[in-house]
Structure 1
Amino acid sequence: MALLRSRLPFIGPLCCGRKDISFFSNTSPSNWSKVVSDAEKIVGYPTSFMSLRCLLSDELSNVAMHVRKLVGTKHPLLNTARGFVYDSKNNLQMRGLVVLLMSKTAGPSTAAAELPKQDMVSGIYPSQRNLAEITELIHTAFLVHRGIVNLKDWTNSDGPLKDMQFGNKMAVLSGDFLLANACTGLAQLNNTKVVELISSAIGDLVQGIYYESSSTAEESDPSDDTTVALWEEQTFLSHGALLAKSCQAAMELANHDKQAQGLAFQYGKHMSLGHKMNSDLHPFVKGSVGDPLPFSMNSAPVVFHRHIVGPEKWLLQLQQATAFGRQVDYTKLWRTVKAGKGVSSAIDLCCHHGNKALEAIKCFPPSEARSALENIAGAVTKF
């Protein structure tokens, strides 16, 4: 949900529509709902209530009252808030759910006796449930922060400037509040290795968002030589590091060895990359010729296409798709990318990441929780 807008002189805006904020944004709603429902039964309760204590706190309730003042404006924070309350197609707590499923899949370690006394509930330690909530709070905080509008690019036609300024203040305060609660909960886990892991994940998120913002500002540059490997690296930082390191941290809280921690990390990493590929591919596998779905110029199929055709041909295709007024005809460019080999190459890589996630999780003993993680990995490689 990259909401910082950039009015680019050569090819226009980053994408021709809104980006979803959900973790798995483009899987089949009916099939995905069943996968999520079955998984929530396994971990013991609906994860949609995981952050309820924080969301109902007096401090955030006061913030919510102020956010209501944005009703009727175009500030993206309002849509972000609506998405947290209700999303008809997706579950917004998927990172926490995956952490809980991973915790249950691995179970207690042989060295569990060395841990402080904890009573497991549905096969999950309380500290692991707290970690799942912390993961969701961090994710939510960054979503809110990314709803800050670049006021230099805002015009009178977008709405009153004072509303945008007020919305930005609320986005900063709300995001900081959620992040502060996450850090407090992290300290209360009393595990320095987990603190180190999640802190590094926060750093990765910041770095990844910086890369994304830089790519947004420079995406009109036809000489952009972003490789697929670099795209994967940057995508891992902004979309995969938090889940991968949270899964690893869940193993650390149960005192599992480095091998189990590495497998959990690999599952979270490849799951996240597979999901991002799925999300980027959606406009090209679901959109029709007459009504193509919005897509980003930095999405995986476009990056693959640009890499395959080379910078000179890509520049020519951009020029051919540029209409009067120096705005890109996205329908024409969509047809060009779809007709190339970038889409099929992206599909292959998406399936590769899904298979790597399945490979990692199959090293754990068979169980309902493991089956749920396998179903989740399978869901993000279906189009």
Structure 2
Amino acid sequence: MNALSNKEQLLDRENAHSVGLLQNPFNAQGSSGAFPGLPEHLSFVKSVPARPGTPTLNPWKDGGKFPDGCPEDPFALVKEELSPFSDSIKDVVDTDHPILSEAAKHFFAERQGKRFRPTIVMLMAKATAPNPKEHRSGPVYEKQAELGQITEMIHVASLIHDDVLDEADTRRGGESVHKLYSNKVAVIAGDYLLARASVVLARLENTEVTEIMSTALESLVQGEIMQIKTGEDDLLDMMTYLRKSYHKTASLICDACKSCAILAGHAADSEEANAAEEYGYHLGLSYQIIDDVLDFTGASDVLGKPAMADVSLGLSTAPVLYAAESIAELKPMIRRKFKQEGDVEKTLRFVLQSDGIERAKSLALFHAQRAVNAICRLPESEERNALISLAHMVLSRKS
């Protein structure tokens, strides 16, 4: 059994736990008394084991106030490390062929966003340092900075390939690579980024990290195949949705987090590496679930892509699956991947009429809180608290 198969068994058990808790979050055990201001159906959060003093996320209270002691701008703590980031990547992917070079650098020029994944890597580098309180003002290790580059190159390559497969015209508010150049150039540009990421990965000279990050690549491919080839019955299965979300989104984040801890000098089976991996796993799932919620609630000009894009592609996400539990008419539409005229519009109406969005947000909160519980197993530091802030921001984000 390979490393990915073994991990999938563990993830299935974890996902089954979260789905079991959330089958009916409106009737979750306990009351919201421990968390003043929380809706009743979010009370299950307190049943998640946590160390004393672990912050409780509550993005819907007090205008989205951050947990005590956690910075409102976690990106500021690694601003110095991220400042040369885009230029460094552009140097890595530079090639003599002008079209390929231009296409590969497209995402590292304009509309680059906040560099969410590299920020996680940089913060994790400092949070897992042997003595984070002393190390927090020091530099990130060079190999950890290179890991941030590897993670972002893999992520961008997956976006380029996704846009070709989905025939998406826009990405991050601008034209997608295949629209600017061609499908062939886009595919080659994505492949080239993966090749360059592999070269930088080899330079780390760490076999454990190489295996972990290679598994992340394998996982991305599995997630794409799951999205394309999911059977009719599996389209209605929440576990299948969570597995696919892990492969397509969470796997890269959790594997990068664990690799970062290993590059800090921790053993692969250490408490620090496990805490980092669990944080990345839960944060990645929470991020994807909120992304799927925003497909129904966000405006296209804010999202940087058309609203209802997932449903238009035939994808059934958490809000739809939860809505289908109470609205039977949704199930045949899910099975036929919303291909009949009017299916997309009906799905939007049914989801908004149901508790699908609230229950999906509950699921995202569950995983974000688990991410916080995991990272709080590390010694307290500014960077650890900034990672808690990122979990809060994932829940409250608008795009």
What is the TM-score normalised by the length of structure 2? Answer: 0.67
Cα 1:230–1:317 change in 2 (3 A) is closer
* 1:263 aligns with one of 269, 275, 290: 275
| 1:171-227 per-position Cα deviation (integer Å, ceiling 9, x unaligned) | 122112211111111111111000010000100011011111224xx6xx5x55532
Where does residue 214 of structure 1 map in the other structure? 229
State how 1:1-383 maps to structure 2 within 5 Å. Answer: 38-45=73-80, 47=82, 49-56=84-91, 58-59=94-95, 62-63=98-99, 81=106, 84-87=108-111, 90-91=113-114, 93-108=115-130, 122-148=138-164, 167-215=182-230, 223-257=233-267, 258-286=270-298, 293-297=307-311, 298-306=316-324, 308-309=325-326, 313-315=329-331, 326-382=340-396
| 1:260-291 per-position Cα deviation (integer Å, ceiling 9, x unaligned) | 11110011111111111111112444569xxx
- Is the CA contact 1:337–1:343 (under 8 Å) kept in the aligned structure 2? yes
Q: Which amino acid aligns with 1:43?
A: V
The CA deviation at 1:143 is 1.6
Q: Which amino acid aligns with 2:249?
A: H
Cα 1:195–1:66 change in 2 (3 A) is closer
The CA deviation at 1:234 is 1.2
User: Unaligned 5+ residue runs, structure 2?
Assistant: 1-63, 168-177, 301-305
Q: Which amino acid aligns with 2:116?
A: M
Give the match's secondary structure for 1:211: helix
Give the match's secondary structure for 2:138: coil
In 1: Cα distance, 2:355 partner to 2:117 partner: 32
User: Unaligned 5+ residue runs, structure 1?
Assistant: 1-29, 68-76, 111-118, 152-162
Q: Which amino acid aligns with 2:293?
A: L
- Is the CA contact 1:54–1:60 (under 8 Å) kept in the aligned structure 2? no
In 2: Cα distance, 1:103 partner to 1:265 partner: 13
In 1: Cα distance, 2:242 partner to 2:258 partner: 20
Q: Which amino acid aligns with 2:323?
A: H
RMSD: 3.8
In 2: Cα distance, 1:144 partner to 1:355 partner: 31
Cα 1:149–1:66 change in 2 (3 A) is farther
- Is the CA contact 2:320–2:356 (under 8 Å) kept in the aligned structure 1? yes
Instruction: Tell me the number of residue pairs that the alignment of Structure 1 and Structure 2 aligns.
Output: 307
| 1:28-62 per-position Cα deviation (integer Å, ceiling 9, x unaligned) | xx999xx9994343225262642423424541761
- Is the CA contact 2:262–2:273 (under 8 Å) kept in the aligned structure 1? yes
- Is the CA contact 1:120–1:126 (under 8 Å) kept in the aligned structure 2? no
- Is the CA contact 2:279–2:374 (under 8 Å) kept in the aligned structure 1? yes
Give the match's secondary structure for 1:327: coil
- Is the CA contact 2:81–2:140 (under 8 Å) kept in the aligned structure 1? no
Q: Which amino acid aligns with 2:351?
A: V
Cα 1:177–1:302 change in 2 (3 A) is same
